[in-house]
Amino acid sequence: MRAILYLNLRLLINGIRRTFTNPLRATAAALVILWFGFTFLGNLMSSAGTHHTPMPPELITRNRDYLIAFLTVMHLMVLWPALSPTVGFRSVQMFTQADVNFLFPSPLRRSLVFFFLLFSRGTVNSLFLLLILLILVISMGRDLLAGLFIGEIPTHLGFVWVYPVMYLLTFFTLLGVGIWVALKEELREGFARRVRWAFWGALLALAGRLGWHGYQAQTRRDDPLGAVVQHLLNDPVVAIPLLPMRALAESAMVFTGGWTPAVTAGFVFWAGALAGIVYLLLQHQHLFYDLAAGIASHSATYALRWQDPGRASYESAVAAAAKQPQKVARWRVFTEWKPQGAWALVWCHSLLMARLSAGWQYLLMLMVPIVSMIVIVFVRGDMSSDMRRFLVLSMMYSFAFFATMSAQSWLVGVLRRAEMNRSLPFPARVVVLTEIAPPTLFLYACLALAWVAMVWFAPEHLLTLVWHTLIVMSLVPVLLTVMLILFLLFPDQSDYTQRVLLGFFMLPVILLAIAPAVLVGVAGALLDLPLWITTMLVVGANAGMLWLCLYLANYQYTRFNPAE
């Protein structure tokens, strides 16, 4: 036990120490700490002497119901991956090859080693959500929460421990269930698939029932969202299966709302479930190391992408070819085009992009806004022209934003290739450009598809759509370059400190990058400039930001150390 504690402590301390030996990362970490400190103190001081007007009781109840429903669904979405062997604990490093080589052959008890590693690393991974909640609470301030719930400063602060404890109980239980499913899969192939289908089936059935209630409320001219929330909380068919998640949601509010029966039920349920799953797992403890070695090997492939790019891409290519040799995609354009010089990089990166991109994911992402629009048209019937314009524009911008965010795996590939590409006779800025260009073009192609759908939906706003498409197109490379800079700054995702910093800085830096375009756009709207002029100005602002980002990415790319 002492040995594993020592290991985890040293890994944490050395990770922090390494962060503070790099000036850029040290500055980033210092900024985070200062932000936490100042915001928290600021909120504390500003809220100390303020008084709030109490809300009407019915509004408090309504807000509370909405919040419980929101937190229930949010926890379900955030925690379900813990159940999935491929998403929950294989993609993150619960077990490493170092554990396999140095810890597993040691005489320490395997159940102790297994559970300690699983729960300690699981805790660290799960704490990212708590961190996000903490950031939200601190940034919104106590006043907002107090006003939202009961109109007073919270009076149940003694219960502040309840949520973290129940959250960890829930997370450990789900993680244990995920491990149990994986163990069963080792013994009986196909078990995990059946569990996955059952889980998704149940979830879809619940969503379908809620959707039906929402639709009925809509046809009665009632509030559909209110109906969905009420059924989520009160319809036994939905509420009972979701009760454990609701308990978690209520425990998150216990320090303002007080202890509720659901919280008690939640503790009983999750503690019992955890005890049960640990008992079940112990029946298979002889298989713990087999499973952990398999997970470590999977995680190692993931880690290898960062640490030994050449070998990782070679091994994954070999594995893919061995699995499905006939399915390696080839396109005429790439076989006939034989460019020289820097264009060879464009050729190579475009081919990789084409092979790596899971086209169906983008199609799915594209389908979400389109299907949403169709559903809205179906539900709302006639819509004003302004409403349709608002809808298509928000769909287009959100699609562009989320599709760009999903290009993160490509950026991991950029780091993988850095060592090889830097040895080529091109300046770093050319390499960075050729890395950013393929995903940009790919997203443009997706946008073109989206654009066709939008025009079909709101043909009267064709010109508006053209101008906004131009804006979105200028935004995509900016977002990609900004994310590349962040990945170059925090390349080691097996280091928790760097993961936290990357997660923390992602949104503010993106907001900073799009700020000039937003400011110019707002100014254009305020000055009532014609849309085409505003568009040109916004595109110009984005071009300037892209130039700046490319300069910074180039600077960081030349200094990036793949060994990290």
For tokens 């996955």, the residue is: 196
- Show contacts with another protein in window 93-112 (CB under 8 A): 96-98, 100-110
Q: How many residues bind another protein (CB under 8 A)?
A: 34
Alpha carbon separation from 225 to 210, 314, 479 (Å, rounded): 10, 50, 33
Q: Please answer whether residues 521 and 452 qualify as being in contact, where contact means their C-beta atoms are separated by less than 8 angstroms.
A: no
Indicate whether 507 belongs to the interface with another protein (CB under 8 A): no
Q: Specify the residue for token string 């007073």.
A: 152
Residue 18 makes contact with another protein by CB under 8 A:
yes
- Residue 360: other Cβ atoms inside 10 A: 9
Using rule CB under 8 A, residue 182 touches another protein: no
User: How large is the angle between the packed helices 162-187 and 261-282, nearest 10 degrees?
Assistant: 30
Name residues whose C-beta falls within 8 Å of residue 317's C-beta, 6 or more positions apart in sequence.
Answer: none
Q: Which is nearer to another protein, 19 or 434 (CB)?
A: 19
- Stretch of 91-99, 213-221, 363-371, 502-510 contacting another protein, by CB under 8 A: 91-99
- What is the residue whose two structure tokens read 């039906």? 212
323 binds another protein, rule: CB under 8 A: no
User: What is the x/- site pattern for another protein, positions 148-177, by CB under 8 A?
Assistant: ------------------------------
Collect all residues with Cβ–Cβ distance below 8 Å to 210 and sequence separation of at least 6: 228, 231, 232, 238
Within 13 Å and on the Cβ side, how many CA atoms surround 168? 12
Region from 4-12, 137-145, 419-427, 508-516 binding another protein, contact rule CB under 8 A: 4-12
User: What is the closest distance, in whole angstroms, from the C-beta atom of residue 175 to another protein in the complex?
Assistant: 22
In the complex with another protein, the residue whose CB is nearer, 306 or 399, is 306
Supply 327's token pair.
Answer: 């399915």
Give the shortest CB-96-to-another protein separation in angstroms.
7
Cβ atoms of residues 496 and 421 within 8 Å: no
Nearer to another protein, 18 or 355 (CB): 18
* Structure tokens given for 544: 């300037």
Q: Is 2 in the site for another protein (CB under 8 A)?
A: yes
CA distance linking residue 440 with residue 114, whole number of Å: 43
Least distance between another protein and beta carbon 283 (Å): 14
Does 306 participate in binding another protein (rule CB under 8 A)?
Answer: no
Note whether 190 binds another protein by CB under 8 A.
Answer: no
State the Cα–Cα distance between residues 453 and 446, nearest whole angstrom.
11
Taking the complex as a whole, how short is the minimal distance between the CB of residue 498 and another protein, in angstroms?
11
Whichever of 298 and 461 has its CB closer to another protein, that residue is: 298
Gap between the Cα atoms of 132 and 231, Å rounded: 28
Nearer residue to another protein within complex by CB, 250 or 495:
495
Single out the segment in contact with another protein by CB under 8 A; choices: 90-98, 391-399, 524-532, 534-542. Answer: 90-98
Nearest-approach distance from CB 24 to another protein, in angstroms: 18
In Å, how far from its chain's centre is CA 485?
A: 18
Of 103 and 475, nearer to another protein (C-beta) is 103
Taken as a whole, the chain contains a residue count of 564
Nearest residue to 259 (alpha-carbon basis) of 158, 376, 363: 158
Residue with tokens 């290009």: 407
Residues 6+ apart with CB under 8 A from 278: 115, 176
CA distance 346 to 430: 10
If binding is defined by CB under 8 A, does position 281 make contact with another protein? no
Q: Is 6 near another protein (CB under 8 A)?
A: yes
Greatest pairwise CA separation for the chain in angstroms: 75
Does 537 bind another protein (CB under 8 A)? Our answer is no
Q: Least CB distance from residue 413 to another protein, whole Å?
A: 21
Q: Which of residues 284-303 bind another protein (CB under 8 A)?
A: 286-287, 289-290, 293, 300
**How far is 119 from 127, CA to CA, in rounded Å?**
12
Which DSSP state fits 157?
A: G
Q: Of the two residues 65 and 185, which places its CB atom closer to another protein in the complex?
A: 185
Task: Give, as ranges, the residues between 455 and 494 that touch another protein (CB under 8 A).
Answer: 494
Q: Is 562 in the site for another protein (CB under 8 A)?
A: no
* CB closer to another protein out of 435 and 495: 495
**Residue 316 near another protein by CB under 8 A:** no
Q: Is the dihedral of CA 235, 238, 242, 248 positive or negative?
A: negative
Instruction: Check residue 11 for interaction with another protein (CB under 8 A).
Output: yes
Q: Which stretch, 12-20, 204-212, 378-386, 470-478, contacts another protein (CB under 8 A)? A: 12-20
Instruction: Tell me which residues touch another protein (CB under 8 A).
Output: 2-3, 6-7, 10-11, 14-15, 18, 96-98, 100-110, 189, 286-287, 289-290, 293, 300, 494-495, 563-564
